[in-house]
Amino acid sequence: MKQGELLYSGKAKSVYLTDEDDVLLVKFRDDITAFDGGKKEVLSEKGAFNARVSEYLFRYLERHHVKTHLIGMMDRSTMLVRRLEMIPLEVIVRNVAAGSMARNYPIKEGTPLDPPVIVIDLKDDARHDPMLNDDLIFALGLSTPEELATIKREALRVNSVLAALFDSLGITLVDFKIEFGRGKDGVYLGDEISMDSMRLWDKKTGESLDKDVFRFGKGDVMEVYRRVSERILS
């Protein structure tokens, strides 16, 4: 597999064409950003840790019948993926109130949410990812009712599989963000699932084991990413 032209460069990953039409390369870079790119750093090895955790969680989800874009790994920080037509929705699933939910609504951080809450934002940095609802999604032509129902169902399935996995590791899956794309035979889970896109709390200590460590200067980000990766991959 040969690396081709750069197709797209995001805040933490770059996507390249390959010599096969349906296959792309996703390079997880060492960049870390927060607050719409307002806070930025480069952390050595961060790309490799997120790529490895993402690979592991995608494979785990595949075993639980969730279709993902993962094909394999090219190297420690580069994933070979199925080419999808990405849907510009950030699908957030919340099991516990935290982050923007506790900031923007009258609910205390740490309140359990049962059933889980799905929030869908428009993936649009320039507009600060505004929150959508079903009517807006249809009016903007972003998805059909049928496809959106599939997206929500899959998001909840990802949540129950991963929440159970993390629970067995002594970690609460507080919330996470995923993205979907259209493949030849329906909707696939794309992008990544890593410490950058999940909120993880240690069950015993309540310690943050995710990007909140970077967002709020809670300590050594890479030390936390290394530690949580070990727990996930062990």
Say whether residue 33 binds ligand C5P (CB under 6 A).
no
Say whether residue 83 binds ligand C5P (CB under 6 A).
no
Residue of 48, 177, 70 lying closest to 117 (CA atoms):
177
Say whether residue 173 binds ligand C5P (CB under 6 A).
no
Give the pair of three-digit tokens for residue 27: 């390079």
CB 120 within 8 Å of CB 142: no
| Nearest approach, Cβ of residue 174 and ligand C5P (Å) | 7
Say whether residue 175 binds ligand C5P (CB under 6 A).
yes
- Taking CB under 6 A as the criterion, the residue among 188, 211, 214, 229 binding ligand C5P is 211
Burial 119-133 (b: 16+ CB within 10 A, else e): bbbbbeeeeebeebe
If the CB atoms of residues 18 and 191 are measured against ligand C5P, the closer one turns out to be 191
Sorted by sequence, the CB contacts under 8 Å of residue 189 that are 6+ apart come out as 58, 61, 66, 67, 68, 69, 154, 158, 178, 179, 180
Pairwise CA distance, residues 224 & 193, whole Å: 16
Task: From 23-31, 48-56, 62-70, 194-202, give the range in contact with ligand C5P by CB under 6 A.
Answer: 194-202
| Nearest approach, Cβ of residue 176 and ligand C5P (Å) | 5
Say whether residue 143 binds ligand C5P (CB under 6 A).
no
Residues that bind ligand C5P (CB under 6 A): 90, 92, 99-101, 129, 175-177, 197-199, 211
